[in-house]
Structure 1
Amino acid sequence: MEITGSRIPGSPTERPKRRPRPKKPRDGVFKQVRFPHSGVFAFSCFSMVGQEGISFAVLLMTAHFGDIVAKVCECLICRGSLTFHEIARFTELPHGQVKNSLLVLIQHNCVQAFSVPKTVGIGGPSRVSTLYMAIFDNIIHRMRFSKFHHIVKKDLGDQCAQLLEGFLQHGRLTFQLLYGRASELSGGKAKQVDVLSMFNKLVHAQYVERCPGVPFLELKSDDEVSSARKRSKSEETKTIEEEAMIAAAPSDADRFSGIIDLMTDSGAVTNDKEEESILEVAAGNKRKHEVLEMDEEIQKTINTNEILWRANYEKFVYCLKKKACVANARSRFGDGAAIVLEALMESCDPNIKNLNFVTSSMNSILEGVRGKPGGVSLTLEHVRAILEQLGCQLCTEETGVLYSIVLKDIIESCKNDEAESLILKKYGKEAYRIFRFLTKTGRFVHTDQIIETTFLEKKEAQKILWKLWMDNYLHMEKLNLHTGGRSEVFLWKVHKELVWQHVLDYMFHAALNISQKISEKEEARQVSVGNAEAEKLRKVRYILEASLLRMDDAIMLFHDFST
């Protein structure tokens, strides 16, 4: 059985009881799974995710869609890409429930389907087999919908934000379904032309995109795989899941092409007079009979194309990444640096592929700075000094002098600050000093050198180093010297990649606990007797939800902003 797409506007009506939390593995041990069809090992489709991250994703799916959908989703996260019958066998669910669960997961962009050829028997004919893979990042994005809504509301206004809610609540929608929802919310007062205008704003700002298709992948032979490996050791070999995501994504021209653009391309506008009329109708400046004529044109185009649209999570992640970088610049260099960096990031090409590297001209930066509160007082020399302070590089092109900055360096600084803050809260000031020193050093350091630099007593320093090493925050090497009356020497280092993964797993664990507390408080509020008790539980829940959002900011640093 193959499921390639759906248009279910809502979620299942039933909400079963919460699933029990999976058992926690030993500290520093991550659950490694094997993709049966790709032959590679990973923790999720595209990024390393520990058991706590998987448990948190399953808890989100249980809260949003119930036990059955969460069980199918957990199976795909833990086992990798599977066929329909494999999912049914591993989950031990009836085929009907597996089908409905996959429809819901695809509808809400949590699962991507793709097809591959499969040979039947030895030397037998090949047939097309459809595989389903869970998209872990999209599952985690479901707890960030309030942040996405706030971004659009601040950028495009309340009406566009209300239109975005349809995609956040119901997943994939056609324009007709979106217009029906808007008409229902407005009591039938919403005009199709107005809804179309707001929809095109979302598309052109890249907050909404066209849904990907179901790609067909030709599997490489053993000779092609071996030759590809020998071609270049520096090139990273893509998994079949990554190739499927790349093949499924439409081109940028189609991905962010609005309804009016489609009407123009399909020949709905045949002369200059009709084109001018359509633009005036979209602006609301034509008479009533022309509005009705426009509605007919829109309806004709929509019925012809029947395109599914969805929220573009990549754009929202970039907006949140910009917010984190600006906040870091403000804390390190002041408000002026925050204004200049924000102007630099907003003035760069919105279609840029490398979101870790932004480039813009001085004129564009100055124009953005002048439009910011407090930016009028910044002179040209002041802006240049701030760009140099931020570490921007100058590059000369035919269009003129450009300023560029590597956002990855700023995110790395944010991760250092977050990890040091965690060490400070968990182990105290002395451990924070040791960890900060080793982070800035970036190499193996002798125990005596650590003691001399941090001004700690030898026994206390050794105790802290041992504790941090036992909890996987430090990497230790033991050398046997047999000189100077000493048989062995200990060297210490912060191995950032491993520590960042350990910190991320710790944060997923904290988010999991907070989410469970929120569910407990909500259940207690529903069965509470007095109004005073219910109000108290409601306030506690709001505090926990705010804590979860702050924890999510830290999770994004280590999980979403690193790519």
Structure 2
Amino acid sequence: MADTETTRLCTQIINSHFGPLTAKVVSVLLTRGRLSALNVARFSELKISTVRAALLILIQHNLVWHSETEEEGEILEINVDECLARLRFGRFVWLTGQIYGQEASQIISIILDHGKLKINDVLDLLSVYDSKLMQTYKSMFQTLFTAGYVRASTALSHLSPRDKLIAYEEEARALLKGLPTAKQLREVRETAVARVNADEVQLLNIGLKPKTKEPKSSRSSKRKEPDDEIDETVYFRVNYTKFHIHIRNQLLEDAARERYNTGAASALRAVLQASETQQIRLTDVRSDGVPTSKISMFLRDDDNLSKGLVQSKSASNSAALKEYLGILASADNPAAGASSAPFISIGGGGTGKVHVEFALACKRLRIRVLESVVRERYGEEAVRILRILIDTGKMDEKHLAKVAMLPHKVVHPLLSAMSQDSLISLQEVPKGNDRNPNRTFYLWFVDFPHTFSVLLQNFYKTLFNIMSRKDAEAADGMVKSVLEKRTRSDVANDESLLTRPERELLREWEDKTRRLETLELRIEDAVFVLRDLDLGVDD
């Protein structure tokens, strides 16, 4: 079951994409947890045929897991992560177009619209019948598959990872004899997790088949043809993780630019691109090592790294790159907290390979979101207090005021306000067993899991309000009539047929929509940082 704000947001997303009946089915599954189709029909008060049609749509779009149980038969469960990822579909299509071009973005858009498709279905929906153009789209599809943007969808993909983990644990535990020890149970858990991860990796390799050999032409071709081709019997879906990796890397690049300068951001972008092929999971705490010589190959032609360094004479990009790598690794920072500050680390032992420290960098991104919320609500003094608590840990109120160099009358109301919003927490340490309040220490600290959970709920609520406001603006009677008029063929070709008040109303509506979409994008970035970049290193 999901919490209230998550349920409201997911229901609103499904309502905008599939309509109210499907949204009602999703709402029941979110509020009541795993159910059979008959129970979904009973709780939603819909006909069983309607429920089954809605469930087929949700399964087709990878929004529902379903598994067989001995007690209740087929059980259905909502995939919340899949539902929230639908807010980023537009960005996925845009990223694909930026990397591979229009043909690739069209393929990704079609698959996102239909959930999962075979390659021939994609070509039919794109209305590609010319043999030369068909070969171009097939080649682009194989490129997307090889790069990991598209992956196969099998029956195993529709099982909940939790169900697979429990099943694998039971299989491993059945092999144990006698009462298992704590060490054996831990090994069973690790084995089950490894099997689940192996299943995910295996999906990346399904979808290719050996290419049918054609009779050799009399004219020899110097161009080497690929040995494999896309399997036409396999269903494919978009691999969100690959796009999430791009979004994460862009956020890290922006963070380096904000902290240092454009040259540091260009150096970090080159490191990320050099190790991009090895970046498979969003949960990796660090990237694979890449040598400096390989990193320099990913610098752009317009990157002038020496421009951001104060040097006696202009240095080459390769020399400036080494300087920026040292800066990003905090090699010149002798402070005590330098070990938690770097974006990258440079291996020793003569290897000199560069690793991106995703865990440390993502932790800093999450703290930056928290600081931005505190700054917006309470001001810079509250941010100063928050940073002291993060760096030092638990502190008494008087000592905190002394370290922050703020009067107690300023610190006390800020601590109370942030505690009321669950941004900081209070730890009681009694001096004796009687727990007398007069003989108790009260220590303030930041409980990261609780704080980030509260922030996520607030962001979900904000996203729901933004989407509701957009729907309300578009449902206004006057706006709706003007939008319907604009869809007419004559008005679409010549908008001067609209009256002046209609054009002004349309401009006002478009301006409101653009502002709301910009705000939605910013909130969604914060949700991505807090939810998807949680690598468990905040405590």
TM-based fold match above 0.5: yes
Cα separation, partners in 2 of 1:392 and 1:245, compared to 1, 3 Å: closer
Contact 1:71 1:91 in 2 (8 A): yes
Cα separation, partners in 2 of 1:222 and 1:536, compared to 1, 3 Å: same
Cα separation, partners in 2 of 1:460 and 1:133, compared to 1, 3 Å: same
Contact 1:339 1:372 in 2 (8 A): no
Contact 2:267 2:325 in 1 (8 A): no
Q: Deviations over 1:136-185 (max 9, x none)?
A: 1111111111111111111111221122110122221111111012226x
Q: 2: CA distance between counterparts of 1:459 and 1:233?
A: 53
Shift of the alpha carbon at 1:337?
1.8
Match of 2:384 among 395, 417, 433: 433
Name the structure where helix makes up a greater proportion of residues: 2
- Aligned partner of 1:357 in structure 2 is 286
Shift of the alpha carbon at 1:495?
0.8
The number of residue pairs the alignment matches comes to 476
Match of 2:457 among 505, 513, 516: 505
- Aligned partner of 2:23 in structure 1 is 70
Amino acid in structure 1 at the alignment position of 2:51: V
Higher RCO, 1 or 2 (CA under 8 Å, sep at least 6)? 1
Q: Does 2:138 match 1:196?
A: yes
Contact 2:153 2:203 in 1 (8 A): no
Shift of the alpha carbon at 1:92?
3.1
- Aligned partner of 2:365 in structure 1 is 414
Q: 2: CA distance between counterparts of 1:550 and 1:252?
A: 32
Q: 1: CA distance between counterparts of 2:441 and 2:267?
A: 48
Shift of the alpha carbon at 1:338?
1.2
- Aligned partner of 1:289 in structure 2 is none
Q: 2: CA distance between counterparts of 1:274 and 1:393?
A: 55
Cα separation, partners in 2 of 1:190 and 1:505, compared to 1, 3 Å: farther
Q: Deviations over 1:268-315 (max 9, x none)?
A: 126776998796789xxxxxxxxxxxxxx99xx86xx42111111010
Output the TM-score relative to the length of structure 2.
0.78
- Aligned partner of 1:9 in structure 2 is none
Shift of the alpha carbon at 1:352?
4.2
Partner of 1:369: helix, strand, or coil?
Answer: coil
> 130-139 or 75-84, which moves further after superposition?
75-84
Shift of the alpha carbon at 1:56?
0.8
Q: 1: CA distance between counterparts of 2:92 and 2:463?
A: 19
Cα separation, partners in 2 of 1:83 and 1:361, compared to 1, 3 Å: farther
Q: 2: CA distance between counterparts of 1:247 and 1:113?
A: 21
Amino acid in structure 2 at the alignment position of 1:316: F
- Aligned partner of 1:47 in structure 2 is none
Match of 1:158 among 102, 106, 126: 102
Cα separation, partners in 2 of 1:434 and 1:92, compared to 1, 3 Å: same
Q: 1: CA distance between counterparts of 2:222 and 2:125?
A: 24
- Aligned partner of 1:96 in structure 2 is 49
Contact 1:212 1:248 in 2 (8 A): no
Q: 2: CA distance between counterparts of 1:366 and 1:252?
A: 33
Matches within 5 A, 1:160-559: 160-183=104-127, 191-214=133-156, 218=167, 220=170, 224=174, 230-231=182-183, 249=200, 251-252=202-203, 254-255=205-206, 257=207, 261-264=208-211, 268-269=212-213, 305-348=232-275, 350-354=277-281, 355-359=284-288, 360-369=290-299, 373-374=303-304, 377-379=317-319, 381-389=322-330, 390=342, 392-395=344-347, 400-441=351-392, 443-481=393-431, 487-524=439-476, 525-527=479-481, 530-559=502-531
Shift of the alpha carbon at 1:106?
1.4
Q: Does 2:68 match 1:115?
A: yes
Output the TM-score relative to the length of structure 1.
0.75
Among all aligned residue pairs of Structure 1 and Structure 2, give the percentage whose two residues are the same amino acid.
Answer: 20
Shift of the alpha carbon at 1:351?
4.2
Partner of 1:73: helix, strand, or coil?
Answer: helix
Q: Does 2:90 match 1:146?
A: yes
Amino acid in structure 2 at the alignment position of 1:156: Y
Q: 2: CA distance between counterparts of 1:492 and 1:466?
A: 10
Contact 1:152 1:160 in 2 (8 A): yes
Contact 2:371 2:383 in 1 (8 A): yes
Shift of the alpha carbon at 1:69?
1.0
Cα separation, partners in 2 of 1:235 and 1:467, compared to 1, 3 Å: farther
Cα separation, partners in 2 of 1:537 and 1:270, compared to 1, 3 Å: closer
Q: 2: CA distance between counterparts of 1:471 and 1:542?
A: 30
Q: 2: CA distance between counterparts of 1:350 and 1:422?
A: 35
- Aligned partner of 1:27 in structure 2 is none
Q: 1: CA distance between counterparts of 2:52 and 2:102?
A: 37
Q: 1: CA distance between counterparts of 2:200 and 2:21?
A: 29
Amino acid in structure 2 at the alignment position of 1:402: K
Cα separation, partners in 2 of 1:272 and 1:345, compared to 1, 3 Å: farther
Q: Deviations over 1:355-399 (max 9, x none)?
A: 33112222221211355633573525324423433353343699x
Cα separation, partners in 2 of 1:307 and 1:480, compared to 1, 3 Å: closer
Shift of the alpha carbon at 1:252?
4.9
Shift of the alpha carbon at 1:53?
2.2
Q: 2: CA distance between counterparts of 1:199 and 1:506?
A: 39
Amino acid in structure 2 at the alignment position of 1:91: S
Shift of the alpha carbon at 1:62?
0.7
Contact 1:193 1:281 in 2 (8 A): no
Shift of the alpha carbon at 1:459?
2.8
Amino acid in structure 2 at the alignment position of 1:171: G
Q: 2: CA distance between counterparts of 1:252 and 1:221?
A: 22
Q: 2: CA distance between counterparts of 1:469 and 1:548?
A: 27
Cα separation, partners in 2 of 1:222 and 1:209, compared to 1, 3 Å: closer
> 366-375 or 407-416, which moves further after superposition?
366-375
Amino acid in structure 2 at the alignment position of 1:520: A
Matches within 5 A, 1:4-23: none
Shift of the alpha carbon at 1:80?
3.4
Cα separation, partners in 2 of 1:222 and 1:79, compared to 1, 3 Å: farther
> 371-380 or 419-428, which moves further after superposition?
371-380
Q: Deviations over 1:69-110 (max 9, x none)?
A: 112222333333333333333333222111111111111121
Contact 1:212 1:250 in 2 (8 A): no
Q: 2: CA distance between counterparts of 1:112 and 1:275?
A: 52
Q: 2: CA distance between counterparts of 1:205 and 1:104?
A: 28
Cα separation, partners in 2 of 1:99 and 1:274, compared to 1, 3 Å: farther
> 69-78 or 534-543, which moves further after superposition?
69-78
- Aligned partner of 2:497 in structure 1 is none
Contact 2:249 2:272 in 1 (8 A): yes
Q: Deviations over 1:478-498 (max 9, x none)?
A: 34459xx96443210011111
Contact 2:395 2:443 in 1 (8 A): yes
Structure 2 unmatched runs, 5+:
306-315, 331-341, 483-500
Shift of the alpha carbon at 1:561?
1.6
Partner of 2:287: helix, strand, or coil?
Answer: strand
Partner of 2:317: helix, strand, or coil?
Answer: coil
